Homo-oligomer: A and B are copies of this chain.
Amino acid sequence: MRVRTKREEFLQVSLQLIHEKGFKATTMRDIAERMDFDVSNSYNYIKSKQDILELFLFRTSEEFHTTMDHILDSSYPADEKLKQVISAHIQVAARKPLEVALMVNEWRNLKEPKYSEYVALRSLYEKKMAKLLREGVKSGVFAALNVKIATAVILSSIRWVYDAYADTKSNINPIELERQIVSLVFDGVSH
C-alpha cells in the first residue's frame, strides 16, 4: 500500500498553484498552506523549489520527444506524419494541460545548467519538425515553403491548445479540435 501518494498530491498541488500564480509568484508557503501543513514539511517531498519545476518540465518534454521520435521513425508519408504530430500534441495537451502550460510559460525560470539543457531540448524539437517539413517539401506532398518559418508557425499555432483544457470553462472536443487544426494547417482559411 501507501505508494508515495502524499508526494504525488504535493506535486499536483504545486503544479496547480504554479499554473494559477506563476512559478516565481508561488511560494513554498503557498503550496504548504494548500496542503494544510507547515512549510518545512514540504522538504520531506522535494529537495528544492527548483526541483518541482525541473521535474515537470523534463518529464513532459520527454513525452513530447518520444512521441515525435516514434512518428519520425515510421514509414508514413510526411503529410501523414505531420497530422500525427499535431494529433499527438493535442492529446497530450488535453490529458495534461497544466504540465503543458508549464512548458509554455515557465521554462524561463529554470536555472543553469538546467536552463541551457531545456533550451537545447526545445530547439531539438524544432529541428525534428523542420526535418519533417523538409522531407514533405522534397517529396512533393507540401508546397515549396520556407521551412524555418513554417516550423515556427505550425508549432506556434498549436501551442495555445492546453489553454482550452487547463481551466474547465471551455470544453472543446479534442477530436473536433484536431479536425479543425489539421484542416487549417493543411489547407488554410481559403475556399
Contact = CB atoms under 8 A, between A and B. Distances in A.
A152 B145 contact: no
Interface in A99-152: 105, 108-109, 133, 136, 140-143, 145-146, 148-150, 152
A191 B24 contact: no
A164 B156 CA distance: 13
B149 A82 contact: no
Interface stretch (A4-12, A49-57, A60-68, A182-190): A182-190
A157 B136 CA distance: 20
Given A24-B25, A109-B22, A189-B185, A160 B150 contact: no
Overall SS of chain A's interface? helix
B184 A153 contact: yes
Q: How many copies does the complex hold?
A: 2
Q: Which of A79, A159, A188 has the most CB of B within 10 A?
A: A188
A150 B184 contact: yes
Given A25-B109, A156-B156, 14 more contacts: A136-B189, A141-B191, A142-B190, A143-B187, A146-B180, A149-B181, A153-B180, A154-B157, A154-B184, A154-B189, A156-B159, A185-B189, A186-B190, A187-B187
Give 6 closest A-B pairs by Cβ, nearest first.
Answer: A157-B157, A24-B24, A188-B188, A156-B160, A187-B188, A149-B180
16 contacts: A22-B109, A143-B183, A143-B187, A146-B180, A149-B172, A149-B180, A149-B184, A150-B189, A153-B157, A153-B181, A154-B157, A154-B184, A184-B188, A185-B188, A185-B189, A187-B188
